[in-house]
Amino acid sequence: LPAGLGWALVFTPSLGTVGRYFPAQRSLATGLVVSGASVSGLALGPLVPLLLDTYGWRGALLLLAAISFNLVAAGALLRPLPVPSESPGPPRDPPGLVRLLRHGPFLRYTLAFVLVDAGYYVPFVHGAARAHEVGCDDHRAGLVMAAMAAVDGGGRVAAGWLAARPAAPLLRHLFAWAVLTGLTLLLLPLGTSFGGLLALALAYGFCAGALVPLQFAGVAEVVGAGRLVHAIGLMQMFESFGSLLGAPFAGWLRDMTGNYTISFLAAGAFLLAGSFLILTLPGFFHTSRGAGGKEGSPTPSP
C-alpha cells in the first residue's frame, strides 16, 4: 500500500509537469517520458530474479527501494511553471477538483478510459496463459510477453512523434490508436500458433503503447493546461476501477467458457466502446485550443 501510494504521488505530478513544460510538443515529450516505463520494465524482468537468488526477498526489496529513492533527486529538479491564463494572486474560482467533477467533456473522457482500461491490461495479465493454451512452452510464452512489452515503448515514442505533426488534432490521433488497439485485441484469439500469436502480440503491444502518451496529452486538450495535474490525478483514480475489474472479469470468462476467446473479445469490446466516447468530445471535429472548450471549462479566468 505505501509503495503504491508513493508511485501515484510521483507519476501524476511528473506527467502534469512535463505537459506544462512543453505545451507545443506535449505529445512527443509525454511519449518520451512514458517510454521509460517500458525500458525499466524490460530491465527489471531479468534483474529481479537475480536479486532474489543473490540477496533473498528482503535484500532485493531493499535494493529496489534504494533505486526508487533516486526519484527524490529527480523530483527536486522539477519546477512549477505558470500558464498564461493563471493569475498570480489567490484563486477566485471553486477548487479545481470540484470544477472538474462538473466538467462534461472531462467526465466523458474519464469514462472512456475507464472502459479502455477494462480491456487494456487483459493481454498483459493473461497473455502467458493464452500462449500456454495454444501449446507454447514456458520459454515461448515468455518470449511472447517480452516482445509485447518491448514494442510497447516504441509505440509510445512513435505515437508522440506523430501526434506532434500538425496534420490532425491530437484527439483524432488518440481515437485512431484506441480503435486500432481494440481491433488487434479482438484479433488475438486468431493466434492459434506461436508465430501467429507472436505477430498479433507485437501489433497489440505497439498500439497499446501508442495510447499511453496520447491519453495524458489529451487531458490538456479537454480541460486546458491550468488544471492538468488535477485532471490527470482524478482521471487515474477513476481509471483504477476499470483496471482492477478487467483482468478478473476476463479470468472469470475463461473459467466459464474453457478458453480465452470470449475473454479477449470482451476486452476488445471494452476498448472500442471507450474509443467511441472520444467522438463526443468538443475538440474532436475541429482544432482544439487546449482550453477546455464548452460545458464549464475549468481553465481559470485571468
CATH number, domain of 183, equals: 1.20.1250.20
Residue 128's domain comprises 1-77+97-279
Assigned domain for 143 exists = yes
Assigned domain for 89 exists = no
Count of C-beta atoms within a 10 Å radius of residue 284: 17
Assigned domain for 176 exists = yes
Assigned domain for 157 exists = yes
Give the total number of structural domains in the chain.
1
DSSP letter string over 98-143? HHHTT-HHHHHHHHHHHHHHHHHTHHHHHHHHHHHHTT--HHHHHH
Assigned domain for 300 exists = no
Q: pLDDT at position 258, please?
A: 92
Q: pLDDT at position 295, please?
A: 40
Count of C-beta atoms within a 10 Å radius of residue 42: 15
Q: pLDDT at position 298, please?
A: 39
Assigned domain for 84 exists = no
Assigned domain for 137 exists = yes
Q: pLDDT at position 163, please?
A: 87
Assigned domain for 201 exists = yes
Q: pLDDT at position 277, please?
A: 94
pLDDT tens, the chain, 302 aa long: 677 777 778 887 888 788 778 877 888 888 888 877 777 777 777 788 888 888 888 888 898 888 888 888 888 887 776 655 544 444 445 557 888 888 999 999 999 999 999 999 999 999 999 999 999 998 899 899 888 988 998 999 999 898 887 667 889 999 999 999 999 999 999 999 999 999 999 999 999 999 999 999 899 889 887 788 889 889 989 998 999 999 999 999 999 999 999 999 999 999 999 999 999 998 677 654 444 433 433 333 33
The Cβ-side half-sphere exposure at 207, using a 13 Å CA radius, reads 24
Residue pair 209/159 in contact by the 8 Å Cβ criterion: yes
Q: Report the run of H or E that residue 245 belongs to, with start and end.
A: helix 228-257
Predicted model pTM: 0.81
Q: pLDDT at position 83, please?
A: 53
Q: pLDDT at position 94, please?
A: 54
Q: pLDDT at position 207, please?
A: 95
